[in-house]
Amino acid sequence: MTEALVVTVIAVILLAWLIQRRLSQTPVDTFYDLSDGERKPHKWGYTDTVFEFDGPRSVRVTGSRYPLAGYSMPAFIPFAEEALGVPITPEEMMPEPPPQVPPAPCDHAGFDAALREQLDDDQVSITDTDRLVHSHGQLSVDEIYRLLYLGALGRVVDRVLYPQSEDDVRHIVTTAAAHGVCLVPYGGGTNVSGALILPQDEERVIASVDMRRMNHILSLDEENQQATVEAGISGKVLERELGALGFTSGHDPDSVELSTLGGWIATNASGMKKNRYGNIEDIVLEATLVTPAGDVETFHATPRNSTGVPPRVWLFGNEGNFGIITKATIKVHPSPEAREYGLLVFPQFDVGVRFLKQLRHEGGLPASIRLVNNNESRFGQALKSTPTAMKSLMGKVQKFVLYTLKGFDPLRMVACTIVMEGTRREVAQQKKIIFNLAKSYGGMSGGAHNGRNGYMLTFGIAYIRDFFNQFHIMGETFETSVPWNRIHQVTGAVEKQLHQQCKARSVRGTPYLAYRVTQTYHTGVCIYFTMGFSGKGLDQPDAVYHEIEAGLRQAILDNGGSLSHHHGIGKIRAGFLTQIQSEASLQVLRETKRAVDPDNIFGARNGPLADAAK
């Protein structure tokens, strides 16, 4: 190295350190824009945010809602074309199709009249848009792609109801039971298990019960660190309101801006910061479920109980089969005194996994730590802007250190994003343990700023899904929990299966597969996969996609993974249930269903009820 280069390297390192230092002292805030916005009717998220071409070979995200927004990304299209092996150009893009027109809603004068005894005019809607919006979740292929680009319109709800109180909900349930109407609870509409897909042969009037007007914190008990909250509250509103009072729930699923408390409970949600705050079953102390047989609830939330089989067990994972969750008492935490981000780079995935396992043993777990594989790490890199001269230089230095000095292989190296929260002492302690341990695994710090961006990327990903859909590129995420010693077996089997299946079905180009470890547990981890391939030129691309996805799920199960870590069963994974549970288990669930809802008013038929007669 020349002297000039040495000086430059030192200067850059100093600068990077200063930037990191400043960032690590950023005051604690939420990870996403807390402002409300207009929702897209079918695609993911807000109308202000679109992932689109801003030149023939570059893309950008509109608006200013996400850190990803407002700049041109010159590397993304080349990366995606290389990864998928198909052209992605403005010419290949499908035009936005005209909105679909659903059939007229079924009449039921008796039900409508009885509803109006309690509900106001604006609490019942039969508009086409409302009905369509409430007839699907966010499965990329089965719901969004089919609806928008294949013109496939399944059963559509006949009414959308907007209860504003628990009494409204009780009235709706009682009235539906009296008039033989089918109800489907609706939260944030972000479900990705097909739970909101309506049974095609349902002949009764179907009413969607949109819970989002029930979005208030009913009481905050600061001394006991708990709050009772209406179940229709979204994660964003919950955090905004709790934050104003100096508290947080700590629950941070990828869908946190849109999904609701009731939905989290119904699907067994997992938040990114579960190491500190727990998954939804750890956060919710008690909740109320309104069923046709009455309210299932415990009257007071006490810290921990041995009172037989508790009512709360009917709530987690009910997937809308049993009733409507109206409110829950949840743990809340004082807003953390400190938050810091981190990024670690490891030479390869299995080293990162060993590091994660050892970190649990050392007892220095941060609120969130996620390990992305090489593909996903490069995907993140491809979302960067054109570098400034300074950044370009820094990048070169970084690459020199990584690839030349440290000998990392750019096609094997992986990254780990870290969020540390707590008291200042806790954060300092975690930081020390994490970074010391990382060294002994050959890990290198990639900077707090990159850690922060990596964490927040999560909230922008689904917009990219909608961009790809326009090119018949069918992408989906799916997840599993896996014992520690099966991680590489499962990821390897999924990768092999995906390539074989795509080849066998003459899929154009190359399938893309990325994965990350999003959660660690005592006995294993959650692996979150992202896959995509071109459906162009395929007869029935959605059917082909389905067969491929089913093959991947089977590969996961065959190699020791679980049926789902947090997405749920709904309809798309119901066929696998008999592989994981005994017949008697499923039978008990069906009998439980009969106990609370003998007439199947909640007729969405998810999980073990997927094949149940009405």
Residue 186 φ/ψ, nearest 5 degrees: -135, 125
The reply to whether 429 sits near a second copy by the rule CB under 8 A is yes
Q: How far is the CB of 526 from a second copy (least distance, A)?
A: 7
Q: Of the listed pieces 116-124, 199-207, 304-312, 370-378, which binds a second copy according to CB under 8 A?
A: 304-312
Q: Which is nearer to a second copy, 37 or 311 (CB)?
A: 311
Strands 524-534 vs 512-520: parallel, antiparallel or unpaired = antiparallel
Q: Give Cα 488 distance to the centre of its chain.
A: 23
Does position 246 interact with a second copy (CB under 8 A)? The reply is no
Question: Six-digit token pair at 133?
Answer: 């919006």
334 sits near a second copy (criterion: CB under 8 A): yes
Task: For residue 230, give both structure tokens.
Answer: 């209406």
E strands along 427-505, which residues? 444-445, 473-483
CB of 612 to a second copy, least distance (A): 13
Q: Is 371 in the site for a second copy (CB under 8 A)?
A: no
Min dist. Cβ of residue 364 to a second copy (A): 9
Number of residues that bind a second copy (CB under 8 A): 92
- Binding of residue 565 to a second copy (CB under 8 A): yes
Burial degree of 424 (CB within 10 A; 0-12, 13-18, 19+): exposed
291 is a site residue for a second copy (CB under 8 A): yes
> 153, 293, 401, 612: which one contacts a second copy (CB under 8 A)?
293
Please tell me the distance from the alpha carbon of residue 291 to that of residue 166, in angstroms, as a whole number: 12
State yes or no: residue 599 binds a second copy (CB under 8 A).
no
430/341 Cα distance (integer angstroms): 11
Could you tell me the smallest distance in angstroms from the CB atom of residue 474 to a second copy?
Answer: 23
Q: Does 515 bind a second copy (CB under 8 A)?
A: no
- For a second copy, the closer of residues 21 and 594 by Cβ is 594
Residue 134 CA to residue 188 CA, distance in Å, equals 10
Question: Which one of residues 101, 389, 584, 613 is an interface residue with a second copy (CB under 8 A)?
Answer: 584
Q: Is 554 in the site for a second copy (CB under 8 A)?
A: no
- Note whether 592 binds a second copy by CB under 8 A: yes
Nearer to a second copy, 417 or 481 (CB): 481
Nearer to a second copy, 378 or 571 (CB): 571
Check residue 526 for interaction with a second copy (CB under 8 A). yes
H-run or E-run covering 518: strand 512-520
Report the residue number, 48 or 295, with the smaller CB distance to a second copy: 295
Non-local (6+) Cβ contacts of 330 within 8 A are: 226, 227, 228, 229, 249, 261, 283, 284, 285
Tell me: does residue 582 bind a second copy (CB under 8 A). yes
Does 435 contact a second copy by CB under 8 A?
A: no
Q: Give strand ranges (E) for 30-71.
A: 51-55, 58-61
Residue 598 DSSP symbol: T
- Is 137 a binding residue for a second copy by CB under 8 A? The answer is no
Asked whether position 424 contacts a second copy by CB under 8 A, the answer is no
The yes or no reply on residue 249 touching a second copy (CB under 8 A) is: no
CB 396 within 8 A of CB 433: no
CA trace torsion 325, 326, 332, 338 (10° rounding)? 80
183 binds a second copy (CB under 8 A): no
Task: Give the count of beta carbons closer than 10 Å to the beta carbon of residue 94.
Answer: 11
Rounded Cα distance between 410 and 408, Å, is 6
Return the axis-axis angle of helices 76-84 and 374-382, rounded to nearest 10°: 150
Per-residue three-class SS string for 195-258: CCCCCCCCCCCEEEEECCCCCCEEEEECCCCEEEEECCCEHHHHHHHHHHCCEECCCCCCCCCC
Candidate segments 46-54, 330-338, 372-380, 507-515, binder of a second copy by CB under 8 A? 330-338
Q: Does 440 sit near a second copy (CB under 8 A)?
A: no
Tell whether residue 560 is a contact of a second copy (CB under 8 A): yes
Kind of pairing between the strands at 226-230 and 324-331: antiparallel
Q: Is 260 in the site for a second copy (CB under 8 A)?
A: no
Query: Reading across the β-sheet that carries 284-291, which strands appear in turn?
Result: 217-221, 226-230, 324-331, 284-291, 294-296
Residue 340 touches a second copy, criterion: CB under 8 A: no
Residue 482 binds a second copy, judged by CB under 8 A: yes
Minimum distance between the CB of residue 376 and a second copy, rounded to whole angstroms? Answer: 21
Q: Does 464 bind a second copy (CB under 8 A)?
A: no
CA distance 189 to 129: 14
Q: Which residue in 596, 600, 601, 605 binds a second copy (CB under 8 A)?
A: 596
Return the range that interacts with a second copy (CB under 8 A); candidates 125-133, 145-153, 317-325, 410-418. 317-325
Query: Out of 21, 116, 406, 425, which residue is the one contacting a second copy (CB under 8 A)?
Result: 425
Tokens of 89: 């150009």
**Catalytic residue at 528?**
yes
CA pair distance 319, 326, nearest whole angstrom: 14
> Counting contacts by CB under 8 A, is residue 518 touching a second copy?
no
Q: Half-sphere exposure (CA, 13 Å, Cβ side) for 580?
A: 19
Residue closer to a second copy by CB (options 511, 568) is 568
CB of 105 to a second copy, least distance (A): 30
Of 299 and 506, CB closest to a second copy? 299
Structure tokens belonging to residue 173: 């349930």
CA–CA gap between residue 474 and residue 595 (Å, rounded): 40
Range 199-228, binding a second copy (CB under 8 A):
221, 223-226
Nearest approach in angstroms of CB 148 to a second copy is: 27
Q: Is 540 in the site for a second copy (CB under 8 A)?
A: no
Closest separation between CB of residue 418 and a second copy, Å?
17
Which residues are known to be catalytic?
Answer: 528
